[in-house]
Amino acid sequence: MIELSFLGTGGSVASEERDNTSLLIGLDQKIILVDCPGSLIQKIKRLSLDPLAVSAILVTHIHPDHIYGLPSFIHSLMLEEGLVHLFGSEETIRFCRRLLDLFELQEKEIKMKIDFVPLGDGQEFEIFPELIVTSFRVPHSLSSLAFHFLFEEEKKGLIYSGDTPPHPPLFKKAREIDYLIHDSSAPARFFKQYPSLMTMHTHSLELGKLSQEAGVKCLIPCHFFGEVEFPLSEIEEEIRKNFKGRLIIPKDFEKIRL
């Protein structure tokens, strides 16, 4: 069984209902953490899951809302024997090493160890025997990677974009993908007001159009801005102007079985 658990679905500015975007991918008793904002231990326990079951962490890029919780996560588990594999771009891995060193979290007395795995563009790697992941570069920051997950036993594919503007190569890779989790930061009207957003993020109208053209089977938008006000129904309405497939607009702490 594959299960997605959203620890947060908001953008860099958290709101009362939504914290910074992060999620767990559960496969049987194994868990992958994607991105590392704050209060991870509490959030994972709130979902009735065991933080010690997290055996891999994938970091999309090194903006604060995607990485600032990493030292706290390792510090909270420092007395537990274990090994966590941390995957990211070379830029991300260098930054993570420095960040953990600031808090002396790679010293001998720290029982929870980190295996740093730098990734390149188009690099395929195995997390579990039944899960193959491919990383690929996307625009947003120089450290940014998106991830394509292939669950071999279930024969299902999932792409997680991280924070991204509209990027045609990503949607080419997402052709007829089973699940696409993609930046949908705000309705189009905010991008018209602030055109520079188009170089960093994606609005809901464009996301629906590109996902429909790619034949995405199930679209899961996330990373909703907290610094501007809009109803989530506006995101849904804009996506639905073009997208005809299955649409899930997740809430924080929502679990989705694939």
What does the alpha-carbon distance between residue 168 and residue 178 come to, in Å, rounded to a whole number? 18
Q: Binning pLDDT at 50, 70 and 90, where does residue 29 land?
A: confident
What does the alpha-carbon distance between residue 118 and residue 66 come to, in Å, rounded to a whole number? 17
The per-residue pLDDT of the chain, averaged, comes to 97
What does the alpha-carbon distance between residue 138 and residue 219 come to, in Å, rounded to a whole number? 18
DSSP 12: S
Q: Binning pLDDT at 50, 70 and 90, where does residue 1 land?
A: confident
Q: What value does the mean pLDDT take over residues 30-41?
A: 97
Q: Among 3-12, 126-135, 138-147, where is mean pLDDT lowest? A: 126-135
Residues 94-110: tens digit of each pLDDT: 999 999 999 999 999 99
Instruction: Give the Å distances, CA to CA, from 255 to 68, 84, 218, 224, 245.
Output: 24, 23, 15, 18, 20
CATH number of 2-257: 3.60.15.10
Residues 201-236: tens digit of each pLDDT: 999 999 999 999 999 999 999 999 999 999 999 999
Residue 129 scores a pLDDT above 90: no
Residue 80 scores a pLDDT above 90: yes
> In sequence order, what are the residues at sequence separation of 6 or more whose Cβ sits closer than 8 angstroms to the Cβ of residue 221?
181, 182, 183, 184, 204, 207, 235, 239, 247, 249
End-to-end CA distance of the chain: 8
**pLDDT for the residue numbered 37:** 97
Residues 170-185: tens digit of each pLDDT: 999 999 999 999 999 9
> In sequence order, what are the residues at sequence separation of 6 or more whose Cβ sits closer than 8 angstroms to the Cβ of residue 219?
180, 182, 207, 208, 211, 239, 243, 245, 246, 247, 248
Q: Answer yes or no: are the C-beta atoms of 207 and 221 closer than 8 Å.
A: yes
What are the DSSP calls for 153-198, one per residue?
A: TTTEEEEE--S----HHHHHHTTT-SEEEEE--B-HHHHHHSGGGG
Residue 41 scores a pLDDT above 90: yes
* Residue 59 one-letter amino acid: V
